[in-house]
Chains A and B, each alone.
Chain A
Amino acid sequence: MGWIPDSTLIRGSGASAAARASAWMAAMGSSAEGIRAADDAAAGVAADRTSPVPPVAADADTVARPPLVRPRDCVATGVAAGLAAHLGWPVWIVRAAFVALTFVAGAGLLLYVWLWAFVPWSPALPSAPGAAPGAESAARPRRRAPVAWLLVGASAAVLVAAWISSRSLVRAEADDWAWWFQTTLAGVGLAVASGAWSTFIDRPDPERGPRSELAVRATATGLLVVTALALVFGPLAALGPVPVFAAALAAVLGIGLVYAPTLIARWRDLTGERTKRIREEQRSEIAAHLHDSVLQTLALIQNRAGATSEVARIARAQERELRDWLYAGDAPRESDLVTDLRDFASALEIDYPVTVDLVVVGESREPAGGELAAAAREAMLNAARHAGGEVSVYVESRPDAVEVFVRDRGPGFTPADIPGDRLGVRESIIGRMRRAGGSATVLPGAGGVGTEVRLRFPAEEETRG
């Protein structure tokens, strides 16, 4: 890429360049500015390597200044606004300075591109409360200017200028081939830049998106086709075949380059997908292997060590964790009543000599941390603490209600026998469910063995509607 002139600058700015390397990757996105720099080089504009480097110097001598960052709500790249804020100058002065310096052997343009590459975006603002889904869009920079269209317009203007100058060449009023050639190349370069900008920078922007990308690219292509045809079949071809055909070739290559970013983007998607697939395959291979070896061994350990021994509990906890990892995949777990109870059950199994068998029927819509979940946890804790052994937990979500049954096989008790000062059952389970609009009963288990707690909670629309 024609970005080499900057390598010296990168070296020159030392540590700060390293720190900004990531910003470079992000901001460059790619070839747009590289191509523009190439145009400059082609146009004979030498890079001004001795140009001052204000941001670095400013960083050194004043601390009170706002840091040099690009605001996320910007016109095109945020360079001018960011630099103005940093220096405490009005924005228009900075812009004017860039334009003025550009006439000094292109220094302004080069400085602009360099700052664009290395100055990071301002840190994302903490989003407004309740704007969780919008967080991503808040973090994304918003560009007010339709840069791609401006580039297309500039390209058209430059190509028209080249055409006008070609007229004077044809009429032999002038003999400035170099200027004509450079102008044509600059026009082609701008068209390519507009394509690259729309692909890499505008596409992820929800305000622009793929439709505008297509429109920009079609316009740029049209411009380049017309240019190429005008060059090849126009009167100028007879006068200076070599530069004219070189320019026409550049236009044709330009058409290719306008589409290259799409191909690159497509290729990136493909590699991304491939990597993902390979990872999935590897994962399932590992899962199959672990399933056949480690899970079997853990089951055997539990079996041999006796269900409630410490070794068995540890093995069971490990098995649960491994199973979660094997089958849950990368999908983030949604927190609801069931996952909440499942986590609580595994915690109980570590702390108490108990095995919890959790069976779930129906789609759970009950959130975690609700009153039902709290009461169910309390019932499970009681079962683990006072009964131990095997505890069965059954959750059934029906359209009209959610029911939770917690059953143990311990010594059993009835609420009437419990002294009034024991708050566990009376308050945390029965009282809590009644206050929340549900119901709870504590009964002796089937056949008089152990205890069964039944919790019932009507579906949302009946209670909270």
Chain B
Amino acid sequence: MAELVRVVVVDDHSIFRSGLKADLDDTVVVVGEAHDVESAVAAVTDAAPDVVLLDVHLPGVAVPAGTSGGAEVIRRAAPAVPGTRFLALSVSDRAEDVVGVIRAGARGYITKGSSGADVSRAVHAVAGGDAVFSPKLAGFVLDAFGAAVGETASAVDELDRLSAREQEVMRLIARGYAYKEVAAELFISTKTVETHVSAVLRKLQLSSRHELTAWASARRLL
């Protein structure tokens, strides 16, 4: 935790950017800022930060209809900076906004109402290679992968359903448990919890499950 994490903050509201900068703790260094898709791509490729804090709803000239500015930034900038991870920030908790940006490649998502400490923690987690799931996102994943109606993956590498363990982890996160608490509850290590969450994130990004792709193709996100 002590090591410094370099971040670029992308948001079209300057007041939000300055507020966020003031709130982030000392271990997070802001090395760049951007206010629209084009400047964000430039700032990210220039600074090659560890983490990009990315607003989902971002203005830009050539954003294809149906996709969000945030997802577009990831699509354009990610190939140039392989070491950079993206963390989505949004006022919206609508599934299509959140999942759109996750499927574009974001490693997690937090709401703009989160405190500076929460954001800093999430930044560190993402920098360390973990996925950041809010309770709402965990709830959506359970819903979209049919966990509520009892669908369970039969093979380890199955992308369209969650394994029993992944469901347990998601349920606990949806109930407001932190990773550490999930680990204690299930008698597993925090590292294992993180592995499960990353696996779920991967499924979320790669699955061709109907619930995930139906709205995505309707909005031409794929």
Contacts and interface: CB of A to CB of B under 8 A. Distances in A.
A362 interface: yes
A397 B139 CA distance: 12
Contact of A361 (B172, B174, B185): B174
Given A296-B16, A296-B91, A447-B181, A392 B176 contact: yes
Nearest to A391: B176
B91 A407 contact: no
Nearest to B142: A361
Interface stretch (B41-49, B76-84, B108-116, B122-130): B108-116
Interface in B124-151: 135-136, 138-139, 142-143, 147-150
Interface string B85-105: 000000110100000000000
Interface string A271-290: 00000000000000000000
Contacts of A357: 135-136, 176
A303 B113 CA distance: 5
A296 B23 contact: no
Contacts of B111: 299
A296 B176 CA distance: 24
A316 B177 contact: no
B16 A361 contact: no
A6 interface: no
A378 interface: no
B184 A394 contact: no
B98 to A, nearest CB: 13
Contact of A307 (B115, B149, B176, B180): B115
For the residues of A in contact with B, the DSSP-based class is mixed
A49 interface: no
B66 interface: no
A212 B186 CA distance: 69
Nearest to A395: B139
A266 interface: no
Interface string A294-337: 01101110111011000000001000000000010000000000
B138 A359 contact: yes
Contacts of B12: 292
A55 interface: no
B174 A359 contact: yes
A405 B175 contact: yes
A396 interface: yes
Nearest to B58: A292
B66 to A, nearest CB: 13
Main secondary structure of the interface of B (DSSP, over half): helix
B175 A407 contact: yes
Contacts of B177: 407, 446
Interface string B164-189: 00000001101111001110110000
A268 interface: no
A446 B180 CA distance: 9
Contact of B15 (A300, A359, A390, A405): A300
Contacts of A415: none
Contacts of B23: 303
A327 B113 CA distance: 19
Given A394-B175, A447-B181, A300 B112 contact: yes
B148 A407 contact: no
B13 interface: yes
Q: Which of A363, A398, A446 counts the most B-chain CB atoms under 10 A from its CB?
A: A446
A291 interface: yes
B149 A399 contact: yes
A360 interface: yes
A91 B20 CA distance: 81
Nearest to B23: A303
B143 A362 contact: yes
B175 A296 contact: no
Contact of B185 (A397, A399, A446): A446
B203 interface: no
A327 B94 contact: yes
B149 A296 contact: no
A291 B149 CA distance: 33
B101 to A, nearest CB: 15
A360 B138 CA distance: 10
B64 interface: no
A304 B171 contact: no
A396 B15 contact: no
Contacts of A363: 148
A299 B174 contact: no
Interface string B183-208: 01100000000000000000000000
Q: Which 3 A-B pairs have the closest CB atoms?
A: A392-B176, A362-B148, A446-B181
23 contacts: A291-B57, A291-B92, A298-B91, A300-B15, A303-B112, A303-B115, A307-B113, A357-B135, A359-B135, A359-B138, A360-B139, A361-B142, A361-B143, A362-B148, A363-B148, A391-B176, A392-B135, A394-B174, A394-B175, A396-B142, A397-B148, A446-B172, A447-B181
Given A291-B57, A399-B149, 7 more contacts: A292-B57, A299-B16, A303-B113, A303-B115, A357-B136, A446-B182, A449-B181
Interface of B: 12-13, 15-16, 19-20, 23, 57, 91-92, 94, 111-116, 135-136, 138-139, 142-143, 147-150, 171-172, 174-177, 180-182, 184-185
